[in-house]
Amino acid sequence: MVTIYDVAQRAAVSPATVSRVLNGRSSVDPDLVARVRQAVDELDYRPNAVARNLRRSRTTLWAVVISDVGNPFFTSLVRGVEDVAQRAGYSVVLCNTDEDPAKEARYVTAALADRMAGVIISVAGRSTAQVSRLLSAGVPVVAIDREIAGVQVDTVLVDNAHGAELATGHLLDGGYQRVACITGPRRVSTAVQRLRGYQKALRSRGVPVREHLVRYSDFREEGGYAAMASLLDEADPPDAVFAANNLMTVGAVECLTNRGIAVPTQAGVVGFDDIPWADLVRPSLTTVAQPTYELGRTAAVLLAERLTEPGRAPSTVTLHTQLKVRESSTRGA
Amino acid sequence: MVTIYDVAQRAAVSPATVSRVLNGRSSVDPDLVARVRQAVDELDYRPNAVARNLRRSRTTLWAVVISDVGNPFFTSLVRGVEDVAQRAGYSVVLCNTDEDPAKEARYVTAALADRMAGVIISVAGRSTAQVSRLLSAGVPVVAIDREIAGVQVDTVLVDNAHGAELATGHLLDGGYQRVACITGPRRVSTAVQRLRGYQKALRSRGVPVREHLVRYSDFREEGGYAAMASLLDEADPPDAVFAANNLMTVGAVECLTNRGIAVPTQAGVVGFDDIPWADLVRPSLTTVAQPTYELGRTAAVLLAERLTEPGRAPSTVTLHTQLKVRESSTRGA
DNA sequence: TTGTAAGCGTTATCAC
DNA sequence: GTGATAACGCTTACAA
């Protein structure tokens, strides 16, 4: 292991000078710079970031805590984060929680132990405990996709209620009578917000909100399938459904297909969040599209800014969704 | 910042004892253990992993170097790695190369600087330079998905040539006459292997290998689209295509659809690697399915084993693919 | 501008 | 079994 002392010795300067050359803040005699650079090359010296981190008491690691890398929504978001992080000199540590608060806690513990520079998190639970642990340790936190009640942190969201309202309204205005809603876990803010948007659309059109047309599921494909099945088993089954995320939409459509219910003629479907290659799916799916990559990018930018300017007040950025009408919600005439 | 000294003071023991209690290797008097634990709780002491890493001169970080988290193939693979890593006490750092050797080099530099415990890599280039840098620094490397010529490392692959041969053979046996191939970049081993499998299937059936029916593309959706377009512009266009990865398959099908060419009646399609919700796509896609999650899991297990047993000889694990016949390759009668 | 030296917070090697 | 103490490799006052 070649250290800064080896380089110093070879270049016949002090370790401090080597450090100065490498970090290039203070000015160093050009001759010495040349000697140091040569020694670095000759010895193939690689600065030890662990030692540097200890000395500076900060690292260049960001934790990105999400519920599932398998979901293209989070994938795209992570990509946005990573692109910004890399450019700013940070690396991204991936933390899958599977919506499990215990896993979330473990990752927070790791982030704390490893003195990570910051955390971008889509919280799994309603409790603010994990985020508070980070904040009280002085670790900057950016909430992404999901709000954290009662805590002041930088936050990046989309207009969930609005998007859901558009989606539901679109179904109602298209002539569907009994529009159901499959939303996510009660403890997740997006699930609640999207359900609210759904309810608001019904109310504003004088349609009664019927509880038996609402299902709380898990944001996963299987959950969407099961919820749809359960809705169809009602005495008075829905003729349309709004699903509050991409995977549940896929599950719901699969269920409808398997039961021989034609979409959109016998049942209309709108999902929240797009899926990749939506164009290949038949019928193509009407969705509330989110700027997923931008979501990640924005969160990363907020984190980077907070790291350089820790004192400033937390801000919340709300990005806009967009209803993309495709086949699954439009009955012929 | 509460350190091990604070805990020691409060528990009226030495820092060494605190360390021993926390790491629990050597035996410590139960009384002292209790006092230390209490002090840890009261002070909410969190060991500083950075300091520990410096002292131990090893970390608990793995780098996973892939070309794109946006591709569900890599997503699933990463998931497999992460599940194993977490259980073994490691965190996963995500490194997107976009098939760019320069980016790959930057990430290797970071892995080296951060003294990461190991690297799982799907190499972007043909050059072994980056991997050699890691190996000569003593960092264990596991090659995943793509082979690294001329270097002895643990490797996890699938039977690429075999899968491609099955896929192509299936098209030929189904009566398609002019089967084209859209493969990946020449420098990537999987692209080469899959092309070879394609050629072998042709040869074994006495069908001449025609170079103008082969395209080297980029493993991305747009690339697949462009390659398909270019094939269709040939004087003697193909009536079937084998695409060497999932995204290019999607692109190829989109191109065919846009040109009004019906799949599978006018053109048959088989892709390498599955896509999520393949069942919703119409026509559903015949694919060579890979055990993506297993691929990641296996690589992670190999890495974990090498970390505990550095001396053992590198091994190569080849997992099996499976042809899943769906609609896109089967002309009615 | 350059060098000396004191840490950063652990763990591990010694004595006891 | 326990406690001093010396590293681990770097950065940064401070002194020269």
DSSP string, B183-200: E--TTSHHHHHHHHHHHH
Asked whether residue A258's C-beta has any atom of DNA/RNA strand D within 7 A, the reply is no
Average pLDDT, chain A: 95
pLDDT of residue B127: 83
Asked whether residue B29's C-beta has any atom of DNA/RNA strand D within 7 A, the reply is yes
Give B 246-305 residues with CB within 8 A of chain A: 250, 253-254, 257, 275-277, 279-282
Q: Check if the beta carbon of residue A240 is closer than 8 Å to that of residue A267.
A: yes
CB atoms within 10 A of CB A309: 8
Quick: pLDDT tens for A164-187.
999 999 999 999 999 999 999 999
Pick from A23, A45, A50 the residue to mutate for testing the B interface (most B CBs within 10 Å): A50
Q: Which residue has the tokens 């876990």?
A: A185
Nearest-angstrom CA–CA distance, A328 and A170: 11
- The Å distance, CA of B5 to C1' of D2, is 15
* Mean pLDDT computed over B206-231: 97
Q: Which stretches of B122-188 are DSSP H helices?
A: 129-136, 160-173
Checking each nucleotide's C1' against the CA of B15, the nearest proves to be D3
pLDDT band at B313 (very low <50, low <70, confident <90, very high): very high
pLDDT of residue A176: 97
pLDDT of residue B193: 98
pLDDT band at A126 (very low <50, low <70, confident <90, very high): confident
Any chain B CB within 8 A of the CB of A58?
A: no
Angle, CA A191 vertex, CA A188 and CA A193 arms, to 5°? 105
- The Å distance, CA of A41 to C1' of D13, is 29
Which 60-89 positions of B have CB less than 7 A from strand D?
A: none
Nearest-angstrom CA–CA distance, A53 and B158: 39
pLDDT of residue B333: 47
pLDDT of residue A58: 92
pLDDT band at B6 (very low <50, low <70, confident <90, very high): very high
Per-residue b or e along B269-303, where b marks 16 or more CB atoms closer than 10 Å to that residue's CB: bbbbbbbbbbebbbbbbbbbbbbbbbbbbbbbbbb
Determine whether the interchain pair B254/A113 forms a contact, defined as Cβ–Cβ distance below 8 Å: no
Which whole-number Å values give the CA distances from B230 to A77, A276, B226, B234, B260, in the listed order?
33, 24, 6, 7, 15
Determine whether the interchain pair B282/A282 forms a contact, defined as Cβ–Cβ distance below 8 Å: yes
pLDDT of residue B27: 87
Quick: pLDDT tens for A138-154.
999 999 999 999 899 99
Q: Is the pLDDT of residue A300 over 80?
A: yes
Q: Which stretches of chain B are DSSP H helices?
A: 4-11, 15-23, 30-43, 49-56, 72-87, 101-113, 129-136, 160-173, 189-204, 221-232, 246-258, 292-308
Superfamily designation of domain B4-47: lambda repressor-like DNA-binding domains (1.10.260.40)
- Cβ neighbours of A79 in B, within 8 Å: 69-70, 96
Note the CATH number of domain A160-290+323-329: 3.40.50.2300
pLDDT of residue A333: 47
CATH 1.10.260.40 occupies which residues in chain A? Answer: 4-47
Quick: pLDDT tens for B174-193.
999 999 999 999 999 999 99
Q: Check if the beta carbon of residue B187 is closer than 8 Å to that of residue B126.
A: yes
Which whole-number Å values give the CA distances from B181 to A124, B158, B216, B320, in the listed order?
44, 19, 9, 21
Tokens of residue A37, six digits: 């650079």
The 3-state DSSP class for residue B241 equals strand
Beta bridge partners of A133: none
Q: Check if the beta carbon of residue B234 is closer than 8 Å to that of residue B212.
A: yes
Nearest-angstrom CA–CA distance, B83 and B296: 9
Could you identify the residue whose CA is nearest to the C1' atom of nucleotide C9? B51
Nearest-angstrom CA–CA distance, B269 and B263: 7
Nearest-angstrom CA–CA distance, A57 and A47: 16
Average pLDDT, chain B: 95
pLDDT of residue A127: 83
State which residue of chain A sits closest to B254, comparing Cα positions: A280
Asked whether residue A173's C-beta has any atom of DNA/RNA strand D within 7 A, the reply is no
Q: Which residue has the tokens 């081993």?
A: B189
Asked whether residue B52's C-beta has any atom of DNA/RNA strand C within 7 A, the reply is yes
Exposed / middle / buried, residue B186 (Cβ in 10 Å: 0-12, 13-18, 19+):
exposed
Asked whether residue B51's C-beta has any atom of DNA/RNA strand C within 7 A, the reply is yes
- The Å distance, CA of A50 to C1' of D16, is 31
Nearest-angstrom CA–CA distance, B194 and B181: 9
Rounded CA Rg of chain A: 25
Q: Is the pLDDT of residue B332 over 80?
A: no
Tokens of residue A319, six digits: 């990005």
pTM comes to 0.96
Q: Which residue has the tokens 């998931």?
A: B79
Quick: pLDDT tens for B72-131.
999 999 999 999 999 999 999 999 999 999 999 999 999 999 999 999 999 998 889 999
Q: How far is B275 from chain A, CA to nearest CA, in Å?
A: 10
- Cβ neighbours of A72 in B, within 8 Å: 70, 72, 75, 276
* Mean pLDDT computed over A181-200: 97
Q: How far is B247 from chain A, CA to nearest CA, in Å?
A: 9
Q: How far is B2 from chain A, CA to nearest CA, in Å?
A: 10
Give B 183-242 residues with CB within 8 A of chain A: 221
Determine whether the interchain pair A50/B53 forms a contact, defined as Cβ–Cβ distance below 8 Å: yes
CATH 3.40.50.2300 occupies which residues in chain B? Answer: 58-158+292-321, 160-290+323-329
- The Å distance, CA of B2 to C1' of C10, is 13
Asked whether residue A15's C-beta has any atom of DNA/RNA strand C within 7 A, the reply is yes
CB atoms within 10 A of CB A203: 12
Domain B58-158+292-321 is in which class?
alpha beta
Q: Which of B159, B164, B218, B231 is nearest to B196 (CA)?
A: B164
In degrees rounded to 5, what are phi and psi of residue A123?
-65, 140
In this structure, which amino acid lies at residue B119? Answer: V
- The Å distance, CA of A90 to C1' of D13, is 28
Exposed / middle / buried, residue A96 (Cβ in 10 Å: 0-12, 13-18, 19+):
buried
